[in-house]
Amino acid sequence: MRPRGKPVGVHQVLGEAEQAAVRQAVLDHRPCDMGLSGQLWTRRLVGELIAKLYRVRLTEVGVGKYLKRWGLSCQRADLNAHWPTGALPDHSSDRQSRSDPTASKIIS
């Protein structure tokens, strides 16, 4: 039986050069450097960057697929991390971030 549907990668909205530019921007810069709010990349912020650069809106799932293809992944922030100032951050909004799947950071 023949495989059904289009081959993998045919549905990609961004071309190879556009993907390379976004990947490099994520690796080399913080969101605030690119005119976005925040210090850590999230799927939502990567989607906003793509929309800003190429006027294309992607779902967070779609952004996640690009990130996986680029060898990047999302990880939840470590709430037990050691902070440089020695003071712990304010965790008053942790309940929301734990239930929010977009409260993650991009790592390579």
| pLDDT tens, residue by residue, 15-52 | 999 999 999 999 999 999 999 998 999 999 999 999 99
**Distance, C-alpha 63 to centroid of its chain:** 7
More confident residue, 45 or 5: 45
DSSP 8-state class, residue 85:
T
What is the structure's pLDDT at 5? 77
Helix axes 16-28, 60-69, angle to 10 degrees: 90
Convert the pLDDT of each residue in 60-86 to its tens digit. Answer: 999 999 999 999 987 766 666 555 655
> What does pTM read for this prediction?
0.66
Going along the chain from its start, the domains and CATH numbers come out as 16-77+102-107 (1.10.10)
What is the structure's pLDDT at 3? 79
pLDDT band at 10 (very low <50, low <70, confident <90, very high): low
What is the structure's pLDDT at 4? 82
What is the structure's pLDDT at 82? 59
What is the structure's pLDDT at 75? 74
What is the structure's pLDDT at 73? 84
CB 81 within 8 A of CB 1: no
